[in-house]
Structure 1
């Protein structure tokens, strides 16, 4: 297992003013997920821990200084009780979040209107409005959303990260260091066959992505829900999916299933002002839109 841990003292201390929106998808650092490895401090500065009654419950991704995106199923039976939840930003180890982390309450949760509150159904995405704007820093930065030019062919290498269980029923051990795992995109037709439930019961819908390993061993698990599937395009990281569901953790022929941001970006854009987009465009001078 490769462990590349940077002491926090090596991180640049440059402060990014909270009222300015820094470039999305660009960690400012100096240059458990099943089968994963420790991430580096501030490697994924948009990942947040969504706490329920003070304990880690799900993950999410920071889009702007007021909005987080996550999985709708994280709020099943609690969507009208935002006071149960808070968001921890800028943490690397949950047990030692550090002085530069920020914890903020949730004002309200907006699940996708087409989500049906059943496990493994389409539109498993929710937007979380924070109680107040957060301050950006090298540990707290937004991630980009993919624009309409982005395509994810099979075998594209992307990454997931989270603080979830390291195996079914085995929580991430203390100090609960953020885990990361490289996962290749799986062809959607292959995934549909793996999760085939019979005629008229398609499990993999058009707004889902599959990623991972057909042999199992490495996967997202309980507690990783809502966290990002991240793909690097040029020098920016794009949020291409949200950890949604799967059968078991790291089971053979049961790869992870993700809610596709390629499918749901228009809905997010309608609601979240200031979300930044990036894409794979021919002219590098025109890779920004918002």
Structure 2
């Protein structure tokens, strides 16, 4: 995941980004997969809360569902724990390989380079990339599930995020949070010890977002907005989660 201050680039980018919202197709599968029915009791309840504005270091325990996706031992994307056995990430993170053994999930990390007694590294049993990813239109259905070999023990540092219901709607201008260990600007990587970053952005009206995603080629659909997407960003400061055409999944909390 890119950090809170990563700025977009390319034609029409002003800090607004498209986010895949295909979580709903996964919900029936996840409900059947819950091992003990306790996820709903603990999801979305971090030990540390409160409103913090702007891109900056995230407090420890504020985002206990934040995960790091490793490919061959290297951090490549952010992810989110959503159940004792399941982690969700973006489909575009798996274009190099669909072999579960190539990936690991880090949980309970605040600084990626400094694991603690709360940190866990999990192996992946099954990888499910959305079958329609990038087929009907650019970056469509950009979502993937990872099933872990072992169940995660929930702690104050490792808790699942809550899944949206089938009727959930995010009103325009709702506040959401972006989190991750990615680049802090278009040109600058996050420095050691790779502390988790956070920032607040707002939901942007899709029609307004389409203006910012206009392509120089009118026949191109590269920057098109569709029904399984929404936009979030800060048009005044440029805070966002995207670089060029790279689409990244984020942890969201509506306020």
Specify if TM > 0.5.
yes
SS in 2 for 1:228: coil
SS at match of 1:78: coil
Q: Does 1:76 align with 2:95?
A: yes
Match of 2:77 among 58, 67, 91: 58
Residue 226 of structure 1: aligned partner = 249
Q: d(CA) in 1 for partners of 2:49 and 2:162? A: 20
Name which of structure 1's ranges 187-196 and 197-206 shifts more when overlaid on structure 2: 197-206
- Root-mean-square deviation over aligned CA pairs: 2.5
Q: For the residues of structure 2 that align with 1:53 and 1:85, how far apart are their CA atoms?
A: 6
Query: Could you tell me the TM-score, scaled by structure 1's length?
Result: 0.67
The runs of 5 or more residues in structure 2 that have no matched partner are: 1-34
Paired with 1:51 and 1:136, the residues of 2 have a C-alpha distance of 21
Q: Distance in 1 between matches of 2:228 and 2:247?
A: 19
What is the CA deviation profile of residues 11-38 of structure 1, one whole-angstrom value per residue up to 9, with x for unaligned ones? xxxxxxx96434211112488xxx6101
Per the alignment, do residues 230 and 117 of structure 1 end up closer, same or farther by CA in structure 2, a change over 3 Å counting? farther
Question: Which segments of structure 1 move beyond 3 Å, counting only runs of 4 or more?
Answer: 18-22, 117-120, 221-224
In structure 1, the residue corresponding to 2:254 is in which secondary structure? Answer: strand
1:94–1:119 Cα change, 3 Å: farther
Alignment of 1:106-125 (within 5 A): 106-116=124-134, 120-125=138-143
The answer to whether residue 108 in structure 2 is matched with residue 87 in structure 1 is no
* Aligned with 1:177 (options 179, 195, 202): 195
Q: Equivalent residue for 2:228?
A: 207
CA distance in 1, matches of 2:104, 2:78: 11
User: Comparing both chains, which one has the higher relative contact order based on Cα–Cα distances under 8 Å and sequence gaps of 6 or more?
Assistant: 2
Helix, strand or coil: the match of 2:253?
A: strand
Q: Distance in 2 between matches of 1:224 and 1:100?
A: 30
Distance 1:225 1:94, change over 3 A: same
- 2:49, 2:93 → 1: CA distance? 33
After superposition, what is the alpha-carbon deviation per residue over 1:10-65, rounded to whole angstroms, capped at 9, x for unaligned? xxxxxxxx96434211112488xxx6101110101011001112121101111111
Give ranges in structure 1 of 5+ residues lacking alignment: 1-17, 233-290
State the partner residue of 2:171. 153
Is the 8 Å Cα contact of residues 161 and 224 (structure 1) preserved in structure 2? no
In the alignment, is residue 36 of structure 1 matched against residue 59 of structure 2? no
CA shift for structure 1 position 136 = 0.7
2:213 matched residue in structure 1? 195
Whole-angstrom CA distance in 1 between matches of 2:158 and 2:48:
11
